Amino acid sequence: MASNASDAPVIGISCYSETAAWGVWQRPAALLPRTYVDAVITAGGIPVLLPPGAEAARALPRLDGLVLAGGADIDPARYQAAPHEHTTGIRPDRDTTELALLHRALERRTPLLAICRGAQLLNVGLGGTLHQHLPEVLGHRDHQPAPGQYGRTTVRLEPGCPPATLLGEKIEVSCYHHQAIEELAPGLEAVGHATDGTIEAIRRPGHPFVLGVQWHPEEDTADPAHPSAPLFTALVNAAAEGARA
């Protein structure tokens, strides 16, 4: 972890562009749940929000690490599929921005933590596909029990590699997703599964730090003692090491 503010690594976090209400205002806004920001700060990093737009990827050389945050569904056209009736909230500008961030980060070997939608985007960006509505595949709604309500999922992680080396081989996590990885992209490795077989963690071997998790560690790390906290610490440490190199 960085020792003081002057050498703390800068961590970009992709965010939403949505109409939001605050005070007397209701206007278009760049926004993100505060839990992402707090998780990066607690881990010792300096968070910087990256809203959708052409300029976001140009900021990548100034960043030491990147978080691809959760959000609504990715446009199925990105993986050559027709939209399912339950695929909603598509934001083409966000897809374009985050795919550009992803590829720039991989090219520059920038440490990357991809969360929920971010993990799906990592897979789609490298040529994989998604299940568009898990309840039809699994026969249950445990991963997204109700609007605005996180589910609790037990994830078993592959021993001997991240994230198991950070979190242990079994962890209970907060999840909120109705989509998930179907066909895994070339160059990615599935390293964590829910008990129903859903892919819950992926990594890219050979890169200094690329992890994707289908759950929401930023919600669990409100408690620094929660087992998910090391994900953000590991990202910030990898970012700090890369900045020194």
Q: What is the pLDDT of residues 225-241, one digit of tens each?
A: 677 789 999 999 999 99
Q: Is 131 a catalytic residue?
A: no
Alpha carbons 165 and 167: distance in angstroms, whole number: 6
Active-site option among 98, 200, 218, 219: 218
Determine the residue type at 153. T
pLDDT at 222 > cutoff 90: no
- C-alpha neighbours within 13 Å on the C-beta side of residue 108: 23
E-strand ranges in the chain read 10-14, 16-22, 25-31, 46-50, 65-68, 112-115, 130-131, 151-157, 170-175, 180-181, 189-194, 199-203, 210-213
Q: What is the pLDDT of residues 173-186, one digit of tens each?
A: 999 999 999 999 99
- The domain containing residue 228 runs over which residues? 5-244
pLDDT at 115 > cutoff 90: yes
Alpha carbons 11 and 46: distance in angstroms, whole number: 6
Active-site option among 15, 98, 116, 143: 116
Q: What is the pLDDT of residues 164-175, one digit of tens each?
A: 999 999 999 999
Alpha carbons 81 and 69: distance in angstroms, whole number: 23
Please report which confidence band the pLDDT of residue 6 belongs to, taking 50, 70 and 90 as the band edges: low
Predicted confidence at residue 224, as pLDDT, reads: 64
pLDDT at 3 > cutoff 50: no
Active-site option among 131, 143, 178, 216: 216
CATH number at residue 131: 3.40.50.880
Predicted confidence at residue 1, as pLDDT, reads: 42
CB 189 within 8 Å of CB 119: no
Alpha carbons 143 and 199: distance in angstroms, whole number: 12
Q: Is 55 a catalytic residue?
A: no
CB 8 within 8 Å of CB 45: yes
Comparing CA positions, the residue from 3, 84, 78, 77 lying closest to residue 45 is 3
Q: What is the pLDDT of residues 81-114, one digit of tens each?
A: 999 999 999 999 999 999 999 999 999 999 999 9
pTM of the model: 0.95
Q: Is 133 a catalytic residue?
A: no
- What angle, rounded to 10 degrees, do the helices at 117-125 and 92-108 form? 70
pLDDT over 90 for what percent of the chain? 90
Q: How many domains does the chain have?
A: 1
